Amino acid sequence: MKNLYTSDLTKAHYDAIIIGSGLGGLTTAVCMAKAGKKVLVLEKHYVIGGFTHTFKRKKMEWDVGVHYVGQVSIKNSTMRKAFDYVTNGNLQWDDMGEIYDQIIIEGEVYNFMKGKEPQIKQMIAYFPEEETAIRAYYKLIDKVSADAGSYFAEKTMPDWLSNLVGHKLQRKFYEYSNQTTYEVLSSLTSNKKLIGVLCAQCGNYGLTPKKSSFGAHAIIIAHFLDGGNYPVGGAASIHKYITDVIESHKGILAIKAEVKQILIENNRAIGVEMQNGDKLFAKNIISNAGAHNTFNKLIPAAVSQSEKLVELNNIKPSVSHACIYVGLNASDETLQLPKHNIWHYENYDLDAANDYHVKTKDSASPVFYISFPSAKDSAWQLKHPGTASIQVIGSYPYEWLQEWENTQWGKRGDEYDAKKEALKNSFLEKLYTILPQIKGHIEICELSTPLSTRHFSNYNKGEIYGLEHTPERFRLKLLRPRTSYKNLYITGQDVLCVGVSSALFSGIITAICVLKRNLLWRISRYKTQ
């Protein structure tokens, strides 16, 4: 098996050991490798990539976490240049078209159009009496997402500089991130339908309007205003091209390499201890395992600064979910499947519907997100001719399956299997109501639960977005690359915000902190060959 961990890796001393091969970890690794540093990436799973990896069944495959990415269709955008830099320009993107998200609420359809002005005009067409509120809303999206840049830049500062000027960089963003999405929108309009529609993409950050920070909402909405894109060849193309670059610069990646703890002496990180007892040493240790895992599990209890973790542990894990992966024996064209995503809700009051759901065991998810990977990917029919793939994701609280959390994946027992089968069928029935033409064409249908996510991603509650994106989360000083342990850094979506783009940039700003170099200047001037 390629990249399989062996104890021979203990014979070297590294400039950086990176725990976890999600996009944040891989991005830090590739930036450091390009800077001439000796890098080792350790991955617990048997595949590289975290939520960018894909899995196969028979002649089809599905992504597990990358459904669309914004801001890469413009070749000179910072986002596109960053992806080009970490993949040496090899990663290509397919455009999802003029509509990238379609919202269905109580049977009414709303399309999110590519481009800010087309989207504004479309929303005004749906709600002509709300033009003033709609224009004010998009103006705020621009402002808060722009202010987020300064807020994130502060995270690269050493503590002494942050203490001097950090508050000035954070102040404008905090004005709105300290408010919930519902509070901000309610100040613009009293139209509950409009609020429901404008918040209908909240599944991208996993928290309903009355609980989520408007800062997170603005960042995500702004990210997709220029439309959605999908990696040519599927989500795995992201980590494959980054891995190629790491290895071309003599970086090493190891799978089935579970870290037991980070080694700390005199408040300095010096290495890691593996589950098999091996010890590996490096100048810098970088954790892409998530803030909760890093500070609560990987730091030895004897040296843990537990008094500093109170605020962190008050931030809950984000939403957990169930998903069906559907394989069809006809092409997207034959079945008339769209490239755009579909968000399906039964109720405009997103908070009330979600509150009922989480309080009522085995109730139906209040939202279903439907994605069409094969339709989005121009390379799909070359690899999988005459087939198509669909994913349907719905909310499913981890606590509903907690009694099986200590059982083995794939061997959780008949009762668990029966629950999965019932859940799979309920998701399928929902899919049939939206896309009846797929009946009779399904060859494969497999369901994953929060326990699957826990098993493969090592998130304790099966969460997919790290920490909840509440106002409190954005005020947490701990969520920055540098930690209070010398030479120990963190990266990943907990450092910045949710999603592929945030994971990518978390890796960049962590590398900036470790290398003490202005990588953004280098990235902005990067040109593909």
Q: How many domains in the chain?
A: 3
Here the CATH number for the domain that contains residue 240 is 3.50.50.60
Residues with Cβ within 8 Å of residue 34, at least 6 apart in sequence: 245, 249
Domain contains 344 = yes
Q: Are residues 194 and 262 in the same domain?
A: no
Q: Are residues 17 and 126 in the same domain?
A: no
- pLDDT category at 511 given cuts 50, 70, 90 is very high
Q: Are residues 296 and 191 in the same domain?
A: no
Residues with Cβ within 8 Å of residue 516, at least 6 apart in sequence: none
Boundary (domain end) residue, out of 195, 225, 255: 225
Residue 488 Cα to chain centre, angstroms: 23
Residues with Cβ within 8 Å of residue 19, at least 6 apart in sequence: 25, 42, 259, 262, 272, 285, 286, 287, 288, 289, 294, 298
Q: What whole-number percentage of the chain has pLDDT above 90?
A: 90
Boundary (domain end) residue, out of 168, 192, 225: 225
Say how far apart CA 461 and CA 482 lie, in whole Å.
25
Q: Are residues 320 and 291 in the same domain?
A: no
Q: Are residues 363 and 451 in the same domain?
A: yes
pLDDT of residue 58: 83
Q: Torsions phi, psi of 92, nearest 5?
A: -110, 160
Say how far apart CA 130 and CA 1 lie, in whole Å.
59
Q: Mark 500-515 as b/e (b = at least 16 C-beta within 10 Å).
A: bbbbbbbbbbbbbbbb
Check whether 199 has a pLDDT greater than 80: yes
| Residues β-bridged to residue 213 | 180
Burial group, residue 310, by CB count within 10 angstroms (0-12, 13-18, 19+): exposed
Q: Structural domain of residue 164, as residue ranges?
A: 117-225
Check whether 1 has a pLDDT greater than 80: no
Q: Are residues 320 and 452 in the same domain?
A: yes
Domain contains 81 = no
* Residue 162 structure tokens: 């942050």
Please give the full DSSP string across 467-482, using - where no structure is assigned.
B---HHHHT-TT-SSB
Cβ–Cβ under 8 Å, residues 286 and 18 = yes
Q: Is 388 helix (H, G, I), strand (E, B) or coil?
A: strand
Q: Are residues 292 and 320 in the same domain?
A: no
- Residues 85-93, mean pLDDT to the nearest whole number: 97
Reported as a single tens digit per residue, the pLDDT across 116-126 is: 999 999 999 99
Q: Are residues 334 and 376 in the same domain?
A: yes
Closest CA to 265 of 56, 488, 106, 89: 488
Instruction: Quote the pTM value.
Output: 0.96
Domain contains 468 = no
Q: Mark 88-99 as b/e (b = at least 16 C-beta within 10 Å).
A: bbbbbbbbbeeb
Check whether 492 has a pLDDT greater than 90: yes
Q: Are residues 447 and 498 in the same domain?
A: no
Domain contains 75 = no
Domain contains 194 = yes
* Residue 525 structure tokens: 């001037």
pLDDT of residue 348: 98
Q: Are residues 453 and 495 in the same domain?
A: no
Q: Are residues 320 and 402 in the same domain?
A: yes
Q: Mark 219-251 as b/e (b = at least 16 C-beta within 10 Å).
A: bbbbbbbbbbbbbebbbbbbbbbbbebbeebeb
Reported as a single tens digit per residue, the pLDDT across 226-269 is: 999 999 999 999 999 999 999 999 999 999 999 999 999 999 99
- Residues 38-61, mean pLDDT to the nearest whole number: 90
Boundary (domain end) residue, out of 209, 225, 241: 225
Residue 481 Cα to chain centre, angstroms: 18
Check whether 178 has a pLDDT greater than 90: yes
pLDDT of residue 529: 64
Q: Are residues 221 and 238 in the same domain?
A: no
Closest CA to 187 of 141, 133, 139: 133
